Amino acid sequence: MDEFSFIRSIKPDYYRQSSLIKGIDDDAAVFRPSGHDIVTAVDTMVEGVHFTRQTMEPEKIGHRVLAANISDLAAMGSTPAFYMVSITIPSNWSQQELECIYEGMKKLGDSYQMDLIGGDTVSGRELSLSVTVIGMVHKGKARYRSTAKPGDVLFVTGTLGDSRAGLECLLNPQWEKSAEITYLIERHQTPVPRVSFASHLSQIERITLNDVSDGIANEAKEIAEASNVDLFIESEGIPFSKAIRKVFPEHHEEWGLSGGEDFELLGSVPEEDWPQVIKAAEHAGVTISRIGHVKEKEGAAPVVMLHRKGKWETLTSSGYTHLKEKGD
């Protein structure tokens, strides 16, 4: 495979962002934002760790790795603008397959008016994709994990555990095809970052957000520690899809807490601003669930408490386990 012909094959025909001065074809990209703060994130997916050819087609690999990064931007209240891709290419991947990966990223990026502005290509023993995203947010309007306060409403978008359930369906193909199985697989392979929802929250002065990449047990713990507060979650309030309840009635609660990679948004907001959050969800076309509240820290360290079967218990950190670790 010729590196330069491959780069030419994935180079955009045009750019959308007016702040971009120089894109691909130089040593680095140049952009000049006006009146915004810059938000950036990076995520890596490695074959055999985060996906296999059994669980992911090339185009969906591209979609998923970019979606994971866009979800981080959404959690910061940022509008996606640019992305860069560094790829390690093994000899058993064809140029056509690689172009399909980039096509998956392009299709998702196009829906957010994002421009591919650079990256790197090297050869290696296993396919690895590192995607860096750059977003913009109005000055002083970035959202952080550290702003939750006692009295806040705790909420989450969408439904939880679906991605983990979809992975289970892919790893065990004996499942008979059904609308529920298809839905769960799509939730795993082609997640939808909650950018639109986050953008409709811009008028709220204080709101805390964290994207659900490792399961809400982990994400809630991160908010509690960053904000130095205790979080209280009602298990009955945790949202589950009809599909996961039907297909995995014995596992959906566990996967909802620790399955990970749903790329929903977990957050907290003052009680008086909760109606605005509901309206933002309506405008964005996503469901929103009130799952608990924030309290002042009582012990030496922040904790997350879960109310289940009439009792409060400490919710310990748990989350997504990579495929390689599952097989060890």
Delimit the domains of the chain by residue range. Answer: 3-138, 145-322
Strand locations in 212-264, DSSP E? Answer: 229-234
**pTM of the entire structure?**
0.90
Lowest mean pLDDT among 15-29, 249-263, 270-284: 15-29
* Residue % of the chain over a pLDDT of 70: 94
Among 3.30.1450.10, 3.30.450.20, 3.40.50.10860, 3.90.650.10, name the CATH number for the domain at 145-322.
3.90.650.10
Query: HSE of 99 in the Cβ direction (CA atoms, 13 Å)?
Result: 13
CATH fourth-level superfamily of 3-138? PurM-like, N-terminal domain (3.30.1330.10)
Residue 98, H or E segment: helix 95-111
Smallest CA-to-CA distance from 105 within 78, 87, 79, 124 is with: 87
Phi/psi at 241 (5° precision): -75, 155
**C-beta of residue 105 within 8 angstroms of C-beta of residue 132:** no
Specify which residues 290 forms β-bridges with. 155
Q: How confident is the model at residue 177 (pLDDT cuts 50, 70, 90)?
A: confident
- The torsion region of residue 75 among left (phi > 0), alpha (psi -120 to 50) and beta comes to alpha
- pLDDT of the residue at 67: 97
Calpha distance 59→46 (Å, rounded): 15
Q: What is the mean pLDDT of the chain?
A: 91
Q: Residue 2 pLDDT more than 70?
A: no
Average pLDDT over residues 269-278: 98
